[in-house]
Structure 1
Amino acid sequence: MSDAKIHHSAAEGYAQGADTYVRGRPDYPPQVGTWLSDTLGLKPGLTVLELGAGTGKFTPRLLQTGARVIVVEPVQAMLDKLSTAYPEVEAHQGTAQAIPLADASVDVVLCAQAFHWFANPAALADIHRVLKPGGHLGLIWNLRDASVPWVQKLDALVNQWEGDAPRFYTGAWRQAFPFDGFGPLQPQQFSQSHTGSVEDVIFNRVRSTSFISALAPAEREQVEQQLRAFVASESTLNHGGEVSVPYITSAFVTVKQA
């Protein structure tokens, strides 16, 4: 499946930034395990498809349920990293609009940090096609908690570069719903912190953002300068030790109606 079929920020940014994505992205909170088993019903004997699986940041959570895991990812550089890390997973290059699986072949479709890239009728129609009747579509995102003042400043610094890249925080993805054949979205939220070095939780996290990674070298250097100045100005970040970035994890589920 050609990268030209996906947004240019994803095709270019994630292809270039696969390594940084692995280092800079936060994990998911422990409550997600309960959400997967109790809300999405994942267990041994079922099959789950992870759409837009990236480098496999979420994939271990799915493997822990005991379900059979299939992944579909359009960016080959990211899919290669996932396949190397999790060779037991059935991996396909492809898009959400043309999932390379049979009709009614999976029990759950899961999109982690991804659905905003393909929140359109064509993708939902194909997700609906591959799900069994009564199957679940789960959507989950980690987002920095912008109610914290210094996080709000960091977000403003990053967001000025977003261009036309789809983002979860705008809420535009919600316009894909309601969708005929799916029930209402059921939301849940969890809190967590991303703790580590400033290099990873601030610099590499920003570098892993698709539209930042896709910038021209001179613009990426401008972002680096802005980040260095920001970190130097914030006592929470410039003390030389580990830092914790607060995150909100937002999870949603909808059921394919029989």
Structure 2
Amino acid sequence: MDRDERLLHASSFGAAAAAYAEHRPDYSQTAVRWAIEAAPGLRVLDLGAGTGKLTAMLVALGAEVIAVEPDPAMLTELRRSLPTVRALPGSAEAIPLPDASVDAVLAGNAMHWFDMAVAGPEIARVLAPGGILAGLWNVMDDRVEWVAGLARVGGSAAIGPRDTPTSWRAETADMHLPKTGAAARFGSPEQAEFPHGQRRTADSLVATLATRAGMLVMPEQEQEATLSRIHAFLANGPETAHGEFTLPMLTGVLRVRRL
């Protein structure tokens, strides 16, 4: 994905902010705990916080959270649902916080949108020495046969890079921060995966997939055809046709320490 295409995808979520808030899953609590367990304290920046899915979990774990989000519509949803959280406009490339002001920077389904050549030194700047940067991604467990079938039917727009365990491992394996320059020194990255799940119906899973960037930038007729094809697959599957079911997922975490 070139720079212009990445920016188009990254900026697509605001138009679906309310649907994103309603339908996107939270994260494995065990994964969130693992992401911050080695941090020197509990001052946590949720970077690219979206509508606050990860923010809410960090608050529940007792962290002192600041949320930063570039999209005004997403930020509005976050402030509506979490009015006591300090939520600021900003981006990974221009973080509106002082030097060494947080113990951890977390990004939920967002780090792949960052321009790491710029964001790496900026994240290092706001992290205290020994601080943790962690990216979290929810991926569908395609080791389950019907999930693998869904991935085939949905195509790359609905089930894209980083959306299954194998592709997530490959896509994030080299997503480490630049190690040149005193302001961008990080240790070796660690990957871990944690079982997770989300209760869905055929309708609500289609609504969830409709909030993916690849779907949001798709021409309307093509989007409708893709979502109809997905709905037909779910409506005819024995695991998914009748009422609620659990969408089997993993929360993958990429964690690195500021030296």
Matches within 5 A, 1:1-258: 7-12=7-12, 14-32=13-31, 34-36=33-35, 38-40=37-39, 42-43=41-42, 47-118=43-114, 120-161=116-157, 167=162, 169=167, 171-177=170-176, 179-180=178-179, 181-200=185-204, 202-238=205-241, 240-257=242-259
The structure, 1 or 2, with the larger RCO (C-alpha pairs under 8 Å, 6+ apart) is 1
In 2: Cα distance, 1:5 partner to 1:157 partner? 24
How many residue pairs align between the two structures? 247
Contiguous gaps of at least 5 residues in structure 2:
180-184
Q: With the length of structure 2 as denominator, give the TM-score of the two structures.
A: 0.86
In 2: Cα distance, 1:148 partner to 1:178 partner? 33
In 2: Cα distance, 1:52 partner to 1:241 partner? 33
Contiguous gaps of at least 5 residues in structure 1:
none
Contact 1:40 1:138 survives alignment (8 Å): no
Q: Residues 41 and 243 of structure 1: is their aligned pair in 2 closer, same or farther, counting only changes over 3 Å?
A: farther
Identity %: 32
The code of the aligned residue for 2:19 comes to T
In 2: Cα distance, 1:162 partner to 1:231 partner? 14
Alpha-carbon displacement from aligned partner over 1:56-83 (angstroms, at most 9, x marks no partner): 0111111123332111111111110001
Structure 1 residue 87: deviation in Å? 1.4
Contact 1:194 1:245 survives alignment (8 Å): yes
In 2: Cα distance, 1:192 partner to 1:28 partner? 7
Structure 1 residue 122: deviation in Å? 1.3
In 2: Cα distance, 1:203 partner to 1:162 partner? 9
Q: With the length of structure 1 as denominator, give the TM-score of the two structures.
A: 0.86
In 1: Cα distance, 2:158 partner to 2:244 partner? 28
In 2: Cα distance, 1:94 partner to 1:178 partner? 20
The code of the aligned residue for 1:256 comes to R
Segments ≥4 residues shifted beyond 4 Å = 165-168
Structure 1 residue 187: deviation in Å? 2.3
In 2: Cα distance, 1:33 partner to 1:97 partner? 23
Structure 1 residue 235: deviation in Å? 1.4
Structure 1 residue 135: deviation in Å? 0.9
In 1: Cα distance, 2:9 partner to 2:153 partner? 18
Contact 1:140 1:249 survives alignment (8 Å): yes
The two structures, once aligned, show a CA RMSD in angstroms of 2.4
Structure 1 residue 48: deviation in Å? 1.0
